[in-house]
Amino acid sequence: MNDSVSTPQLPITIGVTGASGLIYAVRTIKFLLASNYTIDLVASKATYSVWQAEQNIKMPAEAARQEKFWREQAGEESNGKLCCHAWQDIGANIASGSYRTKGMIIIPCSMGTVGKLAAGFSSDLLERAADVQLKEGGKLILVPRETPFSLIHLRNLTTLAEAGARIVPAIPAWYHNPQTIEDLVDFVVARALDQFGLDCVPIKRWIGHE
């Protein structure tokens, strides 16, 4: 059952870092908006460079212009609600523990962000919003996109898991017989959103041997 019928529906915070794999963020936004969820989105400063490197696209620097940009990339022009925040706006609502959310997902999540969060260091809005989820006992889902993991990466991820974060690596499965890159990406997005109890990504799930 789609959880979007619940009233009132708490917003979901999405953080996008400078890790490779922006398609993961785009598909997450697409499915949440299509299901009429409310999203608070913050992209790190490094995200601008990744858009240029991966798609040769310039992401608007102004938060006020980013909603249209992300909606166009996701192919969802009108559904749901999307509020974009500037990475340096540490006074935004998602920076406060009193702002109620369903939780936060960082997708894709860089190892730099993982390291800062593990050390309790918040240098921008994305990191502060994630730190808020940890201190408030909220849901923080991390989708790291890195390989191989160094021992430092693994220790930092373990620290965050011990602090309550859920780690969902960008590792697709194959039992659903993927035919496209989107099929592989959507599997990861679905498993990440499963951590919120959301079922809004149309994927073939494992039901056992026939």
Q: How confident is the model at residue 8 (pLDDT cuts 50, 70, 90)?
A: low
Is CATH 3.40.50.1950 correct for 12-196?
yes
Percent of the chain exceeding pLDDT 90 equals 88
3-class secondary structure per residue, the chain:
CCHHHCCCCCCEEEEECCCCCHHHHHHHHHHHHHCCCEEEEEECCCHHHHHHHHHCCCCCCCHHHHHHHHHHHHCCCCCCEEEEECCCCCCCHHHCCCCCCCEEEEEEECHHHHHHHHCCCCCCHHHHHHHHHHHHCCCEEEEECCCCCCHHHHHHHHHHHHCCCEECCCCCCCCCCCCCHHHHHHHHHHHHHHCCCCCCCCCCCCCCCC
- Indicate if the pLDDT at residue 7 is higher than 50: no
Better-scored residue on pLDDT, 203 or 117: 117
Task: Identify residue 38 by its one-letter amino acid code.
Answer: T
18 is in an annotated binding site: yes
Q: Average pLDDT of 123-128? A: 97
- What was the pLDDT predicted at 141? 98
20 is in an annotated binding site: yes
123 is in an annotated binding site: no
191 is in an annotated binding site: yes
112 is in an annotated binding site: yes
Better-scored residue on pLDDT, 83 or 5: 83
- List pLDDT tens digits, range 72-113: 999 999 899 999 999 999 999 999 999 999 999 999 999 999
- What was the pLDDT predicted at 63? 92
Model-wide pTM > 0.85:
yes
- List pLDDT tens digits, range 154-165: 999 999 999 999
175 is in an annotated binding site: yes
- What was the pLDDT predicted at 206? 84
97 is in an annotated binding site: no
- What was the pLDDT predicted at 26? 97
96 is in an annotated binding site: no
110 is in an annotated binding site: yes
- Tell me how far apart the alpha carbons of residues 192 and 166 are, in angstroms, rounded to a whole number: 9
Q: How confident is the model at residue 210 (pLDDT cuts 50, 70, 90)?
A: low
The answer to whether residues 107 and 192 touch, using CB atoms and an 8 Å cutoff, is: yes
- Indicate if the pLDDT at residue 3 is higher than 70: no
